[in-house]
């Protein structure tokens, strides 16, 4: 008589919530994650509203969030997710330069920051890192933040990273990368009037006399020359 070997229980896979407004990006990330033995995508969302619903229904173990989302951006969503579930690890995965946003993302409540240009295996490693309760940053960014901490805060008065809101900083960066107001509005899914309002607030906070000076400072800041 044939005997059945006892089947071992498969280890539980960690459930991942993906928040990104680009369907192709979500598809690629889902395929990447689902091929791992210890990870699986439990839900996807293209904006903050969908993400907040998914965190309740899908009960993810970790969230991977893009910064550039329509409506409430990714950093605002990190705050909302943190308010809903303070123990949820959140990895920010973005095209935005980590030098501009990593520190702000961590202060907002993210557990790590990785750029989309990183290799696929590094993205998976970052997810596992925050799942383990650790902070994930690239080596160069971690070194930079450690040096800053050892020197003290060292923030420059009226530095954009210190005085602007998350959305204002995003608008400021896109200006520095050459986008016009209408292009920024379309990129962020905002009205032109809202973007113009953000630009006016930025100009006031940075004590800049004109729109021309605002644009010049944005370009120089993105290039790494902090003249504010």
Query: Which pLDDT value is given to residue 8?
Result: 56
Instruction: Please compute, for residue 76, the number of CA atoms within 13 A of its CA located in the half-sphere on the CB side.
Output: 15
Tens-place pLDDT, residues 169-223: 989 989 998 999 999 999 888 899 999 999 999 999 999 999 999 999 999 888 7
- Please state which architecture CATH assigns to domain 14-147: 3-Layer(aba) Sandwich (3.40)
Mean pLDDT for the chain overall: 87
Q: Residues with Cβ < 8 Å from 28, sequence gap 6 or more?
A: none
- % of the chain beyond a pLDDT of 90: 57
Predicted local confidence at residue 152, as pLDDT: 62
Q: Write down the domain spans for the chain.
A: 14-147, 160-222
CATH architecture of structural domain 160-222: Orthogonal Bundle (1.10)
What global pTM score does this model have?
Answer: 0.74
pLDDT of 228 strictly over 50: no
What is the per-residue burial (b if ≥16 Cβ within 10 Å, else e) of 193-227? eebbebbeebbebbebeeeeebbebbeebbeeeee
pLDDT at 119: 92
Backbone φ and ψ of 115, nearest 5° = -85, 150
- Residue 10 scores a pLDDT above 70: no
DSSP letters spanning 2-55: --PPPPPPPPPPEEEEEE-S-HHHHHHHHHHHHTSSSEEEEEEESSHHHHHHHH
Query: In this prediction, what percent of the chain has a pLDDT beyond 70?
Result: 89
For residue 158, is pLDDT > 60? no
Tokens 């160069």 locate to 140
């Amino acid at each position: 008589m044939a005997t059945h070997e006892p089947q071992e229980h498969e280890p539980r896979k960690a459930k991942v919530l993906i928040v990104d407004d680009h369907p192709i990006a979500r598809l690629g990330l889902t395929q990447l994650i689902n091929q791992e033995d210890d990870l699986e995508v439990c839900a996807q969302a293209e904006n903050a509203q969908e993400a907040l619903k998914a965190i309740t229904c899908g009960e993810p173990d970790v969230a991977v969030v893009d910064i550039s989302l329509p409506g409430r951006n990714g950093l605002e969503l990190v705050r909302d997710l943190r308010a809903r579930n303070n123990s949820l690890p959140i990895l920010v995965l973005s095209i935005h330069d980590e030098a501009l946003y990593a520190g702000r993302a961590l202060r907002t409540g993210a557990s790590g920051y990785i750029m989309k240009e990183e290799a696929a295996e590094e993205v998976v490693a970052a997810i596992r890192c925050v799942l383990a309760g650790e902070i994930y940053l690239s080596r160069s960014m971690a070194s930079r933040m450690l040096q800053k901490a050892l020197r003290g805060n060292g923030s420059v008065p009226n530095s954009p990273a210190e005085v602007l809101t998350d959305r204002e900083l995003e608008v400021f960066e896109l200006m520095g990368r050459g986008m016009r107001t209408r292009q920024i509005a379309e990129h962020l899914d905002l009205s032109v009037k809202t973007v113009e309002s953000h630009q006016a607030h930025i100009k006031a906070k940075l004590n800049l006399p004109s729109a021309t000076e605002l644009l010049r400072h944005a370009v120089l800041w993105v290039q790494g020359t902090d003249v504010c």
